[in-house]
Amino acid sequence: MASRALTGHVAAADALSPRAAFARLPRLTAPLVRYAAADPWEEDTARLPRALAAHRRRMRAFAEAELAPRAAAADLAPHPAVGALAPGLDGLLVAAGRAGLLSDLLPRPLGAASPALIRHGLALPQALKVEELAAVDGGLMLLVSAHALGVAPVLLGGDLGQLRRVLLPAFRASERGAPHVFAYAITEPAAGSDVEDGHGAASYRPGVVARRAPGGWRLTGTKCFISGGDIASTVVVFAALDGEGMASWTAFLVPRGAPGFHVVRTEHKLGMRASGAAELRLDEVYVPDADVVGGPRQGWALNRATLNLSRIPVGAMGVGFARAATAAAEDFACRFRLAGRPLVDYQEVQLALAEMHARTLAARAMVWAAARQPQARQAEAAAVKFHATDTARAVCELAMDLLGNHAVLHAERVERALRDARLTQIFEGTNQINRLAVIEDQQERLLARVATSAPIP
Ligand SMILES: Cc1cc2nc3c(=O)[nH]c(=O)nc-3n(C[C@H](O)[C@H](O)[C@H](O)COP(=O)(O)OP(=O)(O)OC[C@H]3O[C@@H](n4cnc5c(N)ncnc54)[C@H](O)[C@@H]3O)c2cc1C
């Protein structure tokens, strides 16, 4: 039989336990306090507005039904040939499309989101979705969710014709079970930060260039590390106009079969292995004027705006990994016995579990607070991204410490969460670049203070 109390605590039935003590409070004030949720996830969910709660439950059910059975094998599968997916992953994309996960950035009837859900904006539903998927597996989460990054510039800058011709047919195809994935291509072999930060972009010589051609443009150059670039039906490629700098950046819709478009390879990488990070070569790829998103020279604005929107869900990925690591550590601490006692009975272990729990809670609170705002403010989105993903790594490290030898075992889940979390500190701008983005956002205010402040002697 289970022991009545963990070391350092009184039993729940003890008169000094909050369970017994709170039961003695007057009926009027008793509901002001709470002790011992049977299912903390369900309690957090029930506190959300109805449409968000239903969405969160649906995303968890999807993750458990479709990601969990594929996760371990997808992470361990041999690196697939270019353009192929590890076994079983086609089925995941089909299921995601049918369930509306590839068309949920617009409300019905245009997309799959319920109007009641979209009333809460785009960021919070996306953050809830991404946390649920990441809590099960990072690679499968990215395979499904990098698509939103590709769709974002079309939503932000596309015209009605592009919406009708490109986006809506893509959404309908996905919902019918023929997934149409978008990818977002800004990174170049010589530029990661320089395509995300104004200071670097000011002196960067663009590597992908668009040359004028009759009725359109010809794109030449190389993009790299493009999530889902290997399987995408449409890649949004950012290119500078011939002879101009990054201020001329323009977003082009490039279909997978376009002559001159090549997927060169996908990278063997540390984590999120189920999602390909592709190198793409463009040899004089023709793009008609009708497929320029937002018009020429709108690319930089679309890029920066997309990153503002997408960095909050990246923070939610961090929350998912921190949650997975915390759950795995808690599970291990209850299963493993040290000198005959369950690990969780040791107070040092309790302190570590409490720390992991608190950090995960704090990261989620930060993500949700930013996601609830109607506008994605740069300083907030960047801060959420670096703080939540740094937290994820720290929580995974605490779990690694707690599991000891077992931490390195694939089956225990923690090392996979750590490898996946590490990637989120790098993509969508390294966490250093995101820190600088916070200061860039505050630059004018800081400079005004410099100008009006008396120097400290
Ligand atoms: C798994 C994965 C998925 C990705 N998915 C996509 C995708 O879908 N689409 C896409 O376009 N890209 C994608 N990327 C690319 C990603 O966004 C870049 O790798 C990232 O921005 C870092 O760029 P970099 O490696 O070129 O770093 P660099 O720019 O070469 O930076 C190198 C180092 O210098 C630091 N640094 C740079 N500038 C400054 C500065 N001004 N001050 C201080 N430090 C600085 C950086 O923080 C970093 O530590 C992905 C990358 C990975 C790993």
pLDDT tens digits, 175-222: 999 999 999 999 999 999 999 999 999 999 999 999 999 999 999 999
What is the rounded CA–CA span in Å between residue 249 and residue 207?
11
**Please, what is the angle between helix 299-335 and helix 414-424, to 10°?**
160
User: Do residues 218 and 337 both lie within one domain?
Assistant: no
- CATH code at position 112: 1.10.540.10
Q: What is the DSSP pairing of strand 209-213 with strand 234-241?
A: parallel
Residues 196 and 217 in one domain: yes
Q: Each residue of 314-325: pLDDT tens digit?
A: 999 999 999 999
Q: Quick check: CB of 146 below 6 Å from ligand 1?
A: yes
Q: Are 111 and 193 in a shared domain?
A: no
pTM of the predicted protein model: 0.97
- Do both 201 and 260 map to the same domain? yes
User: Same domain, yes or no, for 162 and 201?
Assistant: no
The answer to whether residues 313 and 284 belong to one domain is: no
- Ligand 1 close to Cβ of residue 373 (< 6 A): no
308 & 420 share domain: yes
User: For residues 230 and 278, is the Cβ–Cβ distance under 8 A?
Assistant: yes
Cβ(278) to ligand 1 under 6 A? no
Residue 124 within any structural domain of the chain: yes
**Are 64 and 189 found together in one domain?**
no
- Give me the domain span that covers residue 335: 301-449
The domain boundary residue, chosen from 259, 277, 297 = 297
Any domain includes 23: no
CATH code of 198's domain:
2.40.110.10
Please tell me the residue having the least CA distance from ligand 1 atom 34.
193
- The Cα–Cα gap between 127 and 366 comes to 11
20 domain-assigned: no
Half-sphere exposure (Cβ direction) of 194: Cα atoms closer than 13 Å: 15
List beta partners, residue 222: 281
Of all protein residues, the one whose alpha carbon is nearest to atom 51 of ligand 1 is 427
Q: Is residue 386 part of a domain?
A: yes
How much distance in Å is there from the Cα of 448 to the middle of ligand 1? 31
What contacts 104, CB < 8 A, 6 or more positions away? 111, 112, 113, 125, 129
**Cβ of 193 less than 6 Å from ligand 1:** yes
Is any atom of ligand 1 closer than 6 Å to the C-beta of 241?
no
Counting the structural domains of the chain, the total is 3
Tens-digit pLDDT profile for residues 254-308: 999 999 999 999 999 999 999 999 999 999 999 999 999 999 999 999 999 999 9
Quick one: 53 and 127 in the same domain? yes
Q: Is residue 155 part of a domain?
A: yes
Q: Is the dihedral of CA 341, 343, 345, 346 positive or negative?
A: positive
